[in-house]
Amino acid sequence: MKISIGNDHAGPDYKKAIVDFLEKQGHEIINHGTNTNDSVDYPDFGHPVATDVETGKAELGIVICGSGNGIAMTVNKHQSIRAALCWTKEIAALARQHNDANIISIPARFTSIPQAVEMVETFLKTEFEGGRHQNRVNKIACK
């Protein structure tokens, strides 16, 4: 699977651990994140991930910032993006199962690196259930 990832200065260590895990699983990674702790603006790293997912360049996306909120708000401005802010693997599973989330947003300051990797693994392995959830998902985007 091709996965796009982006992060601000709160997430370089998280990104490295996640990318290492995903590459070992055979996934191809498109990296839009910073590799330093120098302060940067999260929209500069979120928008490219959202564009990759929107255009089909990547199947799913991962974004990381301190709270996970700012970067999630950024990517959710894109009409076909459904980013979910997750802090447990159970929330990551429900985001895929019920909301057909296509980007996971990780709060680096509120989760550990092992938790983040576990959430990503769950997010990627979980399928959208469709059914009663499809009608709700169809109503999310502003037309």
Active site residue 98: yes
On whether the CB atoms of residues 140 and 82 are closer than 8 A, the answer is: yes
Active site residue 142: no
In angstroms, the CA 61 to CA 120 distance is 10
Per annotation, catalytic residue among 32, 47, 65, 78: 65
- Which residues are identified as catalytic? 65, 98
